[in-house]
Amino acid sequence: MPPDPEGIRDFVVADADGVLAGCGALHFYTPQAGEIRSLAVDPAFQKTGLGRKIVEALEVEAAEAGLVSLFAFTYVPDFFARLGYEEVDRGALPSKAWKDCLRCPKCQNCDEIAVVKHINSEHIRHEMNGSARGVASPVASSHLIPLSSLQK
């Protein structure tokens, strides 16, 4: 079965000198809100700033698309808190997000924490300019690539 082109558009991957070091996805729920999904960093690249770099790239994409808020479900709320996300009650999230939850085996016993961040393009541009300096060396040699650009 061919890959879902809509799902592929969602992803960016982090390539560090030819090694797949991490990935993350931006899923649009409404014209104003999106979700950061499938954020993963290879253990060899954790604690280097790569996860932050992936999230920031997704935030830039979201801001450029006109989104005003991003949310995520996470087991690591402290990571997202350092990036300006706040814990929220699940009921505060778009109802469309719940359709995905209905297919999850943990639906009735979910242990993930909902986080949200309000964004705008000026704020994101300012944050990116400030965070580009002083990045750990494994991150400095990494490149974020939209997964859709790798498809033939």
Identify the burial level of 61 via C-beta atoms within 10 angstroms of its C-beta, where 0-12 means exposed, 13-18 middle and 19 or more buried.
Answer: middle
pTM above 0.85, yes or no: no
Per residue in 111-131, pLDDT tens?
Answer: 888 999 999 755 555 555 544
Indicate the domain borders of the chain.
Answer: 5-150
CA distance linking residue 6 with residue 87, whole number of Å = 28
* Res 12: pLDDT: 87
Report the percent of the chain where pLDDT is more than 90.
44
* Res 107: pLDDT: 67
- At 66, the pLDDT band (50, 70, 90 cuts) reads very high
Q: Determine the topology of domain 5-150 in CATH.
A: Aminopeptidase (3.40.630)
